[in-house]
């Protein structure tokens, strides 16, 4: 972080924090790098501790009126939010690509998806549940807002991963303090500017800042819940810190998703689908396929078909309309993926495609397919979160289920077969929050998403996810005049 200096060196500096309905400068500032060039291109405000306090105070104040509104009134505001996102899709997408690196068409999709998921969630009913009623008694289960929700997001899909928790919190009657990742704060701050007049002052506060700002949020006595999306390691710190004030938490953490490919598939048909689900956003997706287990009968053909996909992938600056795969988002992640590649080479694996890191500015890394990988290697055990994927061989179904489940991660997984029911029986044995058959990465506003094991706590989306932003309250009425 450095002192705020607007307009210097041709940097974009047209960013503000949103606190209490006002667009304000930060106590500090953050430099933001374009991963396609490796150079700083923007400087944005970063909140200090006093600004966090102010955001929490205004959110608390606004929560009295906001929590008193009906679901329908809040849904109407969320629909206006979706319309604003769509109306500004192109400008937001360009900024998102500049800070995140993904192809601009996929940035547009991310914003469109944030809009449609928001509308989808705002259509979910959360009725009062009647638990029993007879002549003498009535017992009901109500759901009340929690108060102020702190939302902390990662850098891989900043708009979509902000919109899910944001809309969940707002629709259920909470107010929000939202902090994007310091690597990708800009599109979220712009979204805040655009939403300033959509919600009453103080209902949404958007403050950029470094990791320490996230920690202050988790400790803050004025915040009732933390909705965190990010790595397992940080998720554990968030949960430990939130324990100090017994905040509620929803944690959406990392994954190491297996895809099990059975012996009866056509490798030519499944390879492009597996490839896209593994490499979209250059592998920087929590629920990307991160390990491919292929039956020995189709192993060689599938490896070759995946390698062919990798060889024809167009890697480049996300602003170039020809680009299919952009750079890795930041230097730290790039170094990690390069380290995993070197470890993979040292262990004698076969690199079937990719593996040559270009010496050019930016954090580019070609889609890389690796065969004959040791099960205990870093590439198999860790969440690589980048464009390098192992293809492992299996013969026996029991053995592959054991290997797929032999991890502390449990976000999602998939099974691929000519016979969907055969695959479904295997999918049900995966220790994951979502097990797909003949698809991967399919989510929707009405279907819960989240991790088993160390991939998370709680769920986002759906009635189940929304109830995580509310407190259950029993109303028990004894029908006797006193």
CB proximity list for 321: less than 8 A, separation 6 or greater: 104, 105
Catalytic pick among 28, 99, 110, 252: 252
CA distance 38 to 279: 21
Name the nearest CA neighbour of 325 among 90, 161, 104.
104
Residue number with the smallest Cβ distance to ligand NAD: 214
Shortest Cβ 470–ligand NAD spacing (Å): 20
Phi, psi (deg, nearest 5) at residue 295: -60, 145
CB of 373 to ligand NAD, least distance (A): 20
* 358, 366 Cβ separation under 8 angstroms: yes
Q: Min. distance of Cβ 83 from ligand NAD in angstroms?
A: 25
Q: Which residue has the tokens 């262990």?
A: 347
CB of 441 to ligand NAD, least distance (A): 11
Among residues 111, 202, 114, which one has the least CA distance to residue 166? 114
Of residues 57 and 231, the one with the C-beta less far from ligand NAD: 231
Query: 158-171 and 104-121 helices cross at what angle (nearest 10)?
Result: 10
Measured at the alpha carbon of residue 428, what is the angle toward residues 425 and 431, in degrees to the nearest 5? 145
Could you give the C-alpha distances from 441 to 194, 254, 383, 434, in angstroms and in order? 29, 14, 16, 9
What distances in angstroms separate CA 383 from CA 120, 192, 454, one per listed residue? 30, 31, 12
52 near 81, Cβ under 8 Å?
A: no
4 versus 215: smaller Cβ distance to ligand NAD = 215
Element (H, E) at 24: strand 22-24
**Known catalytic membership, residue 303:** no
Identify any residues that bridge with 474 across adjacent strands, giving them in sequence order: 141
The residue (of 265 and 340) whose beta carbon lies closer to ligand NAD is: 340
Nearer to ligand NAD, 242 or 369 (CB): 242
Of the candidates 28, 44, 99, 286, the residue annotated as catalytic is 286
Closer residue to ligand NAD in complex, CB, 252/309: 252
Which of helix, strand or coil describes residue 466?
A: helix
Report whether 152 contacts 211 (CB < 8 A): no
Residues 6+ apart with CB under 8 A from 464: 448
Which CB atom, from 250 or from 324, has the smaller least distance to ligand NAD? 250
Helices H / strands E in the chain, number of each: 15, 20
User: Which CB sits closer to ligand NAD, 217 or 470?
Assistant: 217
Least distance (Å) between residue 47 CB and ligand NAD: 12
Is the Cβ of residue 77 or residue 337 nearer to ligand NAD in the bound state? Answer: 337
Q: Please report how close the Cβ of residue 185 comes to ligand NAD at its closest, in angstroms.
A: 9
Concerning whether 133 is annotated as a catalytic residue, the answer is no
* Closer Cβ to ligand NAD, 215 or 347, answer by number: 215
Q: Please, what is the minimum distance in Å from the beta carbon of residue 161 to ligand NAD?
A: 5
Which residue shows structure tokens 């013969």? 395
CB of 456 to ligand NAD, least distance (A): 6
Least CB distance to ligand NAD at residue 17 (A): 15
With the C-alpha atoms ordered 278, 283, 289, 295, is the resulting torsion angle positive or negative? positive
Closest CA to 230 of 161, 323, 169, 282: 161
Binding positions for ligand NAD, rule: CB under 6 A: 152-156, 161, 179, 181-182, 211, 214-215, 218, 229-231, 234, 237-238, 252-255, 286, 383, 385, 411, 451, 456
Q: How far apart are CA 181 and CA 219, in angstroms?
A: 18
What H or E segment, with its residue span, contains residue 55? helix 49-67
Whole-angstrom distance, CA of residue 94 vs CA of residue 102: 10
Active site residues: 252, 286
């Amino acid at each position: 972080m450095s002192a705020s200096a607007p307009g210097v060196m041709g940097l974009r500096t047209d960013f503000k924090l949103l606190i209490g309905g006002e667009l304000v400068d930060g106590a500090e500032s953050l430099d933001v790098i374009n991963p396609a060039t490796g150079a700083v291109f923007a400087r944005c405000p970063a909140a200090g501790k006093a600004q966090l306090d102010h955001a929490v105070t205004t959110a608390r104040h606004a929560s009295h009126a906001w929590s008193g509104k009906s679901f329908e009134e809040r849904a109407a505001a969320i629909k206006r939010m979706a319309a604003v996102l769509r109306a500004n899709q192109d400008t937001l997408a360009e900024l998102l690509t500049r800070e995140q690196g993904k192809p601009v068409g996929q940035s547009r999709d991310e914003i469109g998806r944030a809009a449609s998921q928001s509308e989808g969630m705002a259509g979910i009913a959360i009725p009062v549940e009647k638990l029993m009623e007879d002549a003498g008694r009535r017992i009901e289960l109500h759901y009340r807002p929690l108060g102020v929700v702190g939302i902390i997001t990662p850098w891989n899909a900043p708009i979509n991963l902000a919109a899910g928790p944001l809309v969940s919190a707002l629709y259920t009657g909470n107010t929000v303090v939202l902090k994007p990742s310091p690597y990708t704060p800009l599109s979220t701050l712009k979204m805040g500017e655009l939403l300033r007049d959509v919600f009453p002052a103080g209902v949404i506060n958007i403050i950029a800042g470094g990791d320490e700002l996230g920690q202050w949020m988790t400790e803050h006595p004025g915040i009732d819940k933390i909705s965190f999306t990010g790595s397992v390691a940080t998720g554990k710190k968030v949960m430990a810190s939130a324990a100090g004030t017994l905040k509620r938490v929803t944690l959406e953490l990392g994954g190491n998703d297996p895809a099990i490919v059975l012996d009866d598939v056509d490798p030519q048909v499944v390879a492009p689908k597996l490839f896209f689900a593994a490499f979209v956003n250059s592998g920087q997706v929590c629920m990307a396929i991160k390990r491919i287990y292929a039956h020995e009968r189709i192993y060689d053909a599938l490896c070759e078909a995946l390698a062919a996909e990798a060889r024809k992938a167009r890697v480049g600056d996300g602003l170039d309309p020809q680009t299919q795969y952009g750079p890795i988002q930041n230097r730290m992640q790039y170094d990690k993926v390069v380290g995993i590649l070197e470890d993979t080479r040292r262990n004698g694996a076969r690199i079937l495609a990719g593996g040559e890191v270009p010496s050019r500015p930016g954090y580019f890394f070609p889609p890389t397919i690796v065969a004959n990988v040791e099960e205990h290697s870093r590439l198999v055990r860790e969440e690589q979160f980048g464009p390098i994927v192992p293809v492992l061989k299996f013969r026996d179904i029991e053995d592959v289920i054991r290997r797929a489940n032999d991890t502390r991660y449990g976000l999602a997984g998939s099974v691929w077969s000519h016979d969907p029911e055969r695959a479904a029986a295997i999918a049900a044995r995966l220790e994951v929050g979502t097990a797909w058959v003949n698809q991967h990465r399919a989510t929707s506003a009405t279907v819960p998403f989240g991790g088993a094991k160390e991939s998370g706590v709680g769920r986002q989306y759906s009635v189940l996810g929304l109830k995580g932003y509310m407190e259950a309250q029993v109303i028990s009425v004894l029908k006797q005049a006193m």
